[in-house]
Amino acid sequence: MVKRILAIVFILIIGFWMAKALDQVPFGQDRMLVGKYYLEHVKEETGAVNAVTAVVVNYRGFDTLGEVTVLFIASTGVAALLWRKKRKRTAKTEGSVVLTTGARLLLPFIMLFGVYIFIHGHLTPGGGFPGGATIATAFLFLYLAFTVYEVDHKIFEPLEGLAGVGYVTVGLIGLAIGGYFLFDWIWQTWGIGKENIGRLLSAGFIPIIYTLIGIKVGTELTGIVDNMIKEPEEGGQ
Amino acid sequence: MIEVYLILIALAVVLSMYRFFRGPTTADRIVAVDIMTTLTTGLMVLFALYYRRAIFLDVALVYAVLAFLGVITFARYMEGGL
């Protein structure tokens, strides 16, 4: 009881302290310095209508590379922690007919929607990470509905690696053409799609990178689900 | 007019929160979460109307898919299908 009261008092003190600090920050006022630059120059500099994806992929592409690396390390870490030679699914209860039929019918729609999100990253909200998560959701649906389902590891893990290598390759091509890593070579030197800003074929390399990130995130999250859902066989190592 | 609907749906979310906190069984809580996610999807659509931005509907679609999968996951766990 004393411990709990102490904890509550401590949290209240921290909360008061942070509120005091936030009191100095002017919310809702026009105090943007970098943000204003992004909003004013995003169209002619990147060709993207969605300013968030332009910042994430184009202006601050290096951070996105770090995020993708973090996800890759998470996936590899889960796989390394749960590594056993013989592992298989131990689910006993079959999914009901409604669930399995629903999974069969809904799967293409969820997949298509995920692909839609990451292809239209420069036009609509979302991008590679939500799109990839939606694709992983489709595979999670398969895992939930069928007790024996398992993804094809011969295809999935190479695809994950290839997508990551593709992202770095796009950055390296930018380094070769423009002089720095993740230089937007399609937009700034070739100028493809200058006329149709706001349409699908615009925004330089943002759709390409987001397609790669979408594939990578989708396969990685599916791999994490696959690793966590399987257990070692009885008696076997 | 839309504001009235927004307040009504927010009220419905608060009311279903009562079932979530008090619900005696786990199934009650899962159903409460299901209701809350469905209501929140409706809330997102209404907000898209309120701000007159059609692109917010994408968010509602993603949320509908994810909420559905979340409830399915809990249900499968409770019947031992994981």
- In tens digits, chain A (237 residues) has pLDDT values of 889 999 999 999 999 999 988 887 777 776 677 878 888 887 777 777 888 888 888 888 788 888 888 988 998 898 888 887 777 777 777 778 888 898 889 899 999 998 988 888 878 888 888 889 999 999 988 888 888 887 877 888 888 888 888 888 888 887 777 766 667 666 666 666 666 676 666 777 788 888 888 899 999 999 888 888 887 776 544
Q: What is the mean pLDDT of residues B50-65?
A: 88
The DSSP code for A149 is -
Model pLDDT, residue A16: 93
Model pLDDT, residue A151: 80
Q: Any CB–CB contact under 8 A between B76 and chain A?
A: yes
Q: Tokens at residue A222, please? A: 């599916």
**Cα–Cα distance measured from residue A76 to residue A164, given in angstroms and rounded to the nearest whole number:** 13
- Contacting B with CB below 8 Å, chain A residues are 91-95, 99, 110, 113, 117, 124-126, 130, 133-134, 137, 140-141, 144, 147, 229
Write out chain B residues lying below 8 Å of A117, CB-based. Answer: 58, 62
Model pLDDT, residue A237: 43
Question: Looking at the partner chain, which of A126, A134, A144 has a beta carbon nearest the beta carbon of B81?
Answer: A144
pTM of the model: 0.81
CB atoms within 10 A of CB B32: 19
pLDDT by residue (tens digit) across B20-31?
999 788 889 999
> With 70 as the cut, is the pLDDT of residue B58 above it?
yes
* Cα A68 → chain centroid: 7
Tell me whether residues A117 and B59 touch, CB distance under 8 A: no
* Residue A205 · residue A56 · CB < 8 Å: no
Indicate the pairing of strand A87-89 with strand A230-232. Answer: antiparallel
More confident residue, A202 or B16: B16
**Domain locations along chain A:** 36-232
Model pLDDT, residue A182: 65
Residue at A17: amino acid letter: W
CB atoms within 10 A of CB A83: 10
Write out chain B residues lying below 8 Å of A110, CB-based. Answer: 65
ipTM over 0.90: no
A-chain residue closest to B75, CA distance: A144
Task: Give the residue from A49, A122, A141, A225 with the most B CB atoms within 10 Å of its CB, the best one to mutate.
Answer: A141
CB atoms within 10 A of CB A100: 16
Q: Tally DSSP H helices, then E strands, for chain B.
A: 3, 0
Check the CA dihedral B75-B76-B79-B80 and report its sign. Answer: negative
Model pLDDT, residue B13: 92
A182: phi > 0 → left, psi -120 to 50 → alpha, else beta; which? left
Tell me whether residues B58 and A94 touch, CB distance under 8 A: no
